Amino acid sequence: EDKVVQSPLSLVVHEGDTVTLNCSYEVTNFRSLLWYKQEKKAPTFLFMLTSSGIEKKSGRLSSILDKKELFSILNITATQTGDSAIYLCAVVKGAGSYQLTFGKGTKLSVIP
């Protein structure tokens, strides 16, 4: 059975801290891994990673994939209160599969 596990499940940090969110996966025929940010309802797309070892970066957020060890990390530097959200990791399989398989998410709370 396909599995996506995120850790920690929740995290409280102060503004300015750097955080690392983890996502490990066990799926057959892996194709790509996606990160989403869910603030109220709609998950918003952050990154898609397909190749191992290549960092994707957008402002203070960055992510990298390790296909050998089957995990990805999402880093947020200089956190702001607006970063408070649930961060979801999802995996896409190849071979004609179209669904996203999500982890439970990491709830990040950034306090002033």
Q: Interface with another protein by CB under 8 A: which residues? A: 4, 31-32, 34, 36, 40-45, 48, 88, 90, 92, 97-105
DSSP bridge partners of 103: none
d(CA 99, CA 91): 8
| CB of 19 or CB of 48, closer to another protein | 48
For residue 51, the one-letter residue type is S
Shortest Å distance, C-beta 4 to another protein? 8
| CB of 14 or CB of 40, closer to another protein | 40
Sort residue 51 into left (φ over 0), alpha (ψ -120 to 50) or beta: beta
| CB of 45 or CB of 52, closer to another protein | 45
What does DSSP assign to residue 77? -
